């Protein structure tokens, strides 16, 4: 798996004693995203699907609306101590007529793997108006299908199986068909990769789709779903209060604690159908 996994020696301690053995560790490296040659953001990510990540990031930040807003994407000549290209600097050229990113989008600091919006000036700076509101999406998904999706996502986490150290995001149809899954050390990066994949494939707005994420649901993940026009967001853990508030305001169905056939619905439960009624009350 190339740069996705590193092999390191670890000391294993147990009641039976101590031994040294090799272990697989998820790789984390910085990616600098530039727009028309100007540095815009640096995120710590798992290498791979960088073009998708950058497209998804620019879309969910409101910089671009369609894939046609990007003229080209290319790696810059960044070198390590041994003179090898690191492939850690990606420059995206905007198409003619597409305005440059607003100052509020620029991140002159490192975005951590765990939180993509830490350090932004204010909450208002990330309350972006979506071009593809999910509010009017009439899609429905059964409780049985939705409850099964985290397990379906987990089955596709190849790097997690070897390292135990990655988040995942997956896009599904209401019938439970997996469209794409992406892994990353950062949950927001995994979502950006999924949305970037959909954008490059002409699937934005992602109407009638379900986004499933491992871990918890932060405000930023809910925002990314709204920006992409995704009507249903589900997670295996809890949402934050701001994620619930945003979902309620924007028409996003938000589910959490999806485990063992059950789940909690925090906003817009009408899209989830059950066997004994047309939809949850």
Dihedral (CA of 40, 43, 47, 53) sign = negative
SS3 5: strand
Exposure string (b/e) for 194-228, b if CB count within 10 Å is 16 or more? bbbbbbbeebbbbbbbbbbbbbbbbbbbbbbbbbb
Rounded CA separation 268/219 (Å)? 16
| CA distances from residue 67 to 72, 78, 162 in whole angstroms, order as listed | 10, 26, 34
Residue of 76, 115, 118, 250 with catalytic role: 115
**Annotation says 250 is catalytic:** no
Q: What is the DSSP string of 194-231?
A: HHHHHHHTT--S-TT-EEEESS-B-HHHHHHHHHTT--
Rounded CA separation 38/58 (Å)? 14
| CA distances from residue 245 to 24, 152, 178, 279 in whole angstroms, order as listed | 39, 28, 28, 21
Residue 210: beta bridge partners?
172, 232
Instruction: Read off the tokens for 20.
Output: 């040294």
Instruction: Read off the tokens for 254.
Output: 């938000």
Kindly list the catalytic residues: 115
């Amino acid at each position: 798996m190339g740069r996705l996994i590193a092999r390191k020696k670890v000391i294993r301690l147990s009641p039976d004693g101590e031994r040294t053995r090799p272990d697989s560790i998820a790789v984390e490296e910085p990616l600098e995203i530039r727009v028309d040659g100007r540095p815009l953001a640096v995120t710590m990510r798992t290498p791979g699907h960088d073009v998708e990540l950058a497209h998804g990031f620019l879309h969910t930040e409101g910089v671009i609306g369609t894939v046609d807003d990007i003229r080209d994407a290319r790696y810059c000549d960044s070198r390590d101590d041994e003179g090898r290209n690191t492939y850690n600097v990606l420059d995206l050229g905007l198409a003619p007529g597409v305005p440059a990113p607003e100052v509020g989008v620029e991140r002159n600091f490192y975005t951590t793997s765990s939180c993509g919006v830490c350090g932004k000036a204010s909450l208002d700076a990330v309350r972006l108006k979506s071009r593809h509101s999910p509010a009017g999406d009439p899609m429905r998904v059964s409780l049985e299908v939705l409850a099964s999706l985290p397990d379906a996502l987990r089955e596709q986490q190849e790097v997690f199986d070897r390292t135990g150290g990655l988040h995942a995001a997956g896009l599904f149809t209401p019938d439970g068909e997996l469209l794409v899954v992406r892994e990353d050390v950062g949950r927001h990066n995994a979502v950006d990769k999924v949305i970037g994949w959909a954008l490059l494939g002409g699937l934005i707005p992602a109407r009638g789709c379900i986004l499933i994420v491992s871990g918890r649901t932060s405000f930023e993940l809910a925002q990314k779903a709204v920006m992409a026009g995704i009507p249903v967001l589900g997670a295996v853990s809890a949402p934050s209060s701001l994620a619930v508030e945003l979902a309620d305001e924007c028409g996003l169905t938000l589910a959490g604690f999806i485990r063992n056939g059950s789940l909690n619905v925090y906003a817009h439960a009408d899209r989830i159908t059950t066997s004994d009624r047309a939809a949850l009350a």
